[in-house]
Amino acid sequence: MEFNFNKAIYLQITDLFCDEILVKKWNNGDRIPSVRELAINIEVNPNTVMRTYSYLQEKGIVYNKRGIGYFLTDDAFEKTLKMRKEEFIKQDLPVIFKTVKLLDINFDDLKTLYNEFESNK
Amino acid sequence: MEFNFNKAIYLQITDLFCDEILVKKWNNGDRIPSVRELAINIEVNPNTVMRTYSYLQEKGIVYNKRGIGYFLTDDAFEKTLKMRKEEFIKQDLPVIFKTVKLLDINFDDLKTLYNEFESNK
Amino acid sequence: MEFNFNKAIYLQITDLFCDEILVKKWNNGDRIPSVRELAINIEVNPNTVMRTYSYLQEKGIVYNKRGIGYFLTDDAFEKTLKMRKEEFIKQDLPVIFKTVKLLDINFDDLKTLYNEFESNK
Amino acid sequence: MEFNFNKAIYLQITDLFCDEILVKKWNNGDRIPSVRELAINIEVNPNTVMRTYSYLQEKGIVYNKRGIGYFLTDDAFEKTLKMRKEEFIKQDLPVIFKTVKLLDINFDDLKTLYNEFESNK
DNA sequence: GTGGTCTAGACCACC
DNA sequence: GTGGTCTAGACCACA
């Protein structure tokens, strides 16, 4: 049996960073922290941050200017939203729906619970 | 920053075992594997399985007969369902709803996705 | 025939600790000895003390702050008193009453003996 | 700290045997089991039973006829009752009363509980 | 430093 | 065989 379900750290950092984009902590075109700066802040190896930024660069969410730093692209927010939405729908939702069925929860109940959640916020 | 989100092993075993109850692998009143047996099967220390069984005993899902073994109670299924439902609603749903809002997903879209999920199964 | 009536050590520690609460050695809200500290003092394994504290936590008599220590809850005294009273009435009293009958002791005699006990103290 | 509260085995046997006298399993003058017989029955060393019988002999509750066996004396019941009563009053009652006070139980409550106990029997 | 968990291995009582 | 308890010692996260 396997008991280590940790995601790779660079992917965990990616998730956190994307969250920050979605809540507008960073906006399209913004300069974002340098690899070294972020690495110190969150106490990980700079190489790990590098992998995060490279990954986001592949996705067209960040780009870099040699010798200057990393920046969000002009459609970083939209791309992040799309990427995360796809991940959520393809990876998370099936698990959630499976659980909902296993627990014999009616979909209408979910609607009720969602409304409660909304009103508490 | 913290990157280790592993649940305690005995709680992971608890979760897996509850799943098995919910999918009727074990039924109310069944004798379940002995502490040692399960420990060998899933390659953990007997003490760890013991903690799982003790935890489930507190919850009224299993009981034991000294020198004989552990058994599911007569309402193990119902109690498991109730326990898991509460956990899901209190712990998982808020995170899910938060994500749904963050990703700007309309609740009605979820309904559509749920129906797709249902028909594929 | 069985001649070993020893209670589990962690339950004996529980009893002694509850006594200390009842005689106000520890008061509601007090920080109590750390797991290791108590383990060294009474010369048992830290795991054994851990079981005692976990047991008391289930009963709502203690709680803990991670990395800080264990504390009595705000109604620790009341809960301890209630718990011990129930145990005494359900477990000890029947044995006592049975003995009293076996020894043909009149209940009114007990009252006299109780008064003697009171005045000697 | 000391965690072994076991009474000496021969005294435990003494207690059990006295109980049997008080419930009239053995009556004054009866021949009681031989040392060897009782030792086999309750699975202890014959020497241990021997200590029990010697102890009871000192108390005038049993006597032996050389080559024949052990017998209850003619006032074994009365002596047993007296002995146990004294033990109960001097050893057990103070502990009981102390607990009763510690648990803040009113003596009148005891009377009520005793009546309940009586009616259930 | 604190608590929390886990392993390895032991001994016990019960069946 | 079963569960129940205990020890010794380890590693982790948190503060």
Q: C120 at the D interface (CB within 8 A)?
A: no
- CB nearest to A93's CB, from B3, B94, B113: B113
- For residue B41, pLDDT over 80 is answered with yes
Are B97 and A88 within 8 A, CB to CB? no
Question: What average pLDDT is seen over chain B?
Answer: 90
DSSP label at residue A65:
E
**Greater model confidence, B58 or A44:** B58
Contacts (Cβ under 8 Å, ≥6 apart) of A102: B19, B22, B23, B84
pLDDT, position D30: 93
Are A102 and B42 within 8 A, CB to CB? no
pLDDT, position C91: 85
Query: Is residue C99 assigned to a domain?
Result: yes
Q: Looking at the structure, do residues B66 and B99 belong to the same domain, yes or no?
A: no
Cα distance between residue D18 and residue D84, in whole Å: 8
- Helices (DSSP H) in A6-106: which residue ranges? 9-22, 35-41, 46-58, 76-87, 93-102
Measured from the Cβ of residue B109, the count of other Cβ atoms closer than 10 Å reads 13
Domain final residue pick, B58, B77, B96: B77
Mutate to test the interface with C, among D51, D100, D106 (most CBs of C within 10 A): D100
Instruction: List chain D pLDDT tens, one digit each, 121 residues.
Output: 656 666 788 888 898 899 999 999 999 999 999 999 988 888 888 898 999 999 999 999 999 988 899 999 999 999 999 999 999 999 899 999 999 999 999 888 888 999 888 887 6
- CB nearest to B84's CB, from A5, A103, A107: A103
Query: Is residue D3 assigned to a domain?
Result: no
- For residue A4, pLDDT over 70 is answered with no
Cα distance between residue B44 and residue B120, in whole Å: 37
* Nucleotide with smallest C1' distance to residue B46 CA: E7
Footprint on protein of nucleic strand F, Cβ below 7 A: B 2, 4, 34-37, 46-47, 50, 53-54, 64, 66-70; C 8-12, 44-48, 51, 66-68
* Protein residue closest via CA to C1' of F12: B4
Are A117 and B107 within 8 A, CB to CB? no
Q: Looking at the structure, do residues A61 and A35 belong to the same domain, yes or no?
A: yes
What is the maximum span of chain A, computed from C-alpha positions, in angstroms?
56
Cα distance between residue A43 and residue A46, in whole Å: 9
pLDDT, position A5: 60
- For residue B84, pLDDT over 70 is answered with yes
Q: What is the mean pLDDT of residues B19-44?
A: 94
- For residue A54, pLDDT over 70 is answered with yes
Tell me which residue has tokens 């005038």. Answer: D60
pLDDT, position D41: 81
Q: Å between C3 CA and E8 C1'?
A: 30
Query: Is residue C4 assigned to a domain?
Result: no
**pTM of whole model > 0.75?**
yes
Are A42 and B92 within 8 A, CB to CB? no
Q: Looking at the structure, do residues B58 and B91 belong to the same domain, yes or no?
A: no
Measured from the Cβ of residue C74, the count of other Cβ atoms closer than 10 Å reads 11
Query: Is residue C38 assigned to a domain?
Result: yes
Q: Looking at the structure, do residues C36 and C62 belong to the same domain, yes or no?
A: yes
Q: What is the mean pLDDT of residues A99-118?
A: 90
A61-101 residue pLDDT tens: 999 988 899 999 999 999 999 999 999 999 899 999 999 99
Q: Fill in the amino acid letter for D28.
A: N
- CB nearest to B107's CB, from A4, A22, A114: A114
Question: What average pLDDT is seen over chain A?
Answer: 90
Q: Looking at the structure, do residues B57 and B111 belong to the same domain, yes or no?
A: no
Q: What is the mean pLDDT of residues B92-115?
A: 89
* Nucleotide with smallest C1' distance to residue B34 CA: F2
Low-confidence ranges of chain C (pLDDT < 50): none
Q: Looking at the structure, do residues C69 and C83 belong to the same domain, yes or no?
A: no
Determine what percent of chain B is predicted with pLDDT higher than 70: 95
pLDDT, position A23: 92
Helix/strand/coil (H/E/C) assignment for every residue in B54-96 = HHHHHCCCEEEECCCEEEECCCHHHHHHHHHHHHHHHHHHHHH
Return the CATH number at C25: 1.10.10.10
Domain of C19 in residue numbering reads as 9-77
Query: Is residue B67 assigned to a domain?
Result: yes
Domain count, chain C: 2
pLDDT, position B91: 85
Q: Looking at the structure, do residues B69 and B101 belong to the same domain, yes or no?
A: no
Measured from the Cβ of residue A96, the count of other Cβ atoms closer than 10 Å reads 21
- For residue A119, pLDDT over 90 is answered with no
Query: Is residue D35 assigned to a domain?
Result: yes
CB-neighbour burial class of residue C49 (10 A; exposed 0-12, middle 13-18, buried 19+)? buried
Query: Is residue A4 assigned to a domain?
Result: no
Q: Looking at the structure, do residues D105 and D66 belong to the same domain, yes or no?
A: no
Q: Looking at the structure, do residues D98 and D50 belong to the same domain, yes or no?
A: no
Closest CA to D33 of D60, D70, D63, D62: D70
Map residue C33 onto helix, strand or coil: coil
- For residue A105, pLDDT over 80 is answered with yes
Q: Looking at the structure, do residues D29 and D63 belong to the same domain, yes or no?
A: yes
Q: Looking at the structure, do residues A55 and A114 belong to the same domain, yes or no?
A: no
Are D113 and C1 within 8 A, CB to CB? no
Whether the Cβ atoms of residue B57 and residue B73 lie closer than 8 Å to each other: no
pLDDT, position D5: 61
pLDDT, position B2: 60
Q: What is the mean pLDDT of residues A20-29?
A: 94
Q: Looking at the structure, do residues A34 and A87 belong to the same domain, yes or no?
A: no
Query: Is residue A16 assigned to a domain?
Result: yes
Q: Which residues pair with C111 in a beta bridge?
A: none
Tell me which residue has tokens 């009365």. Answer: D78
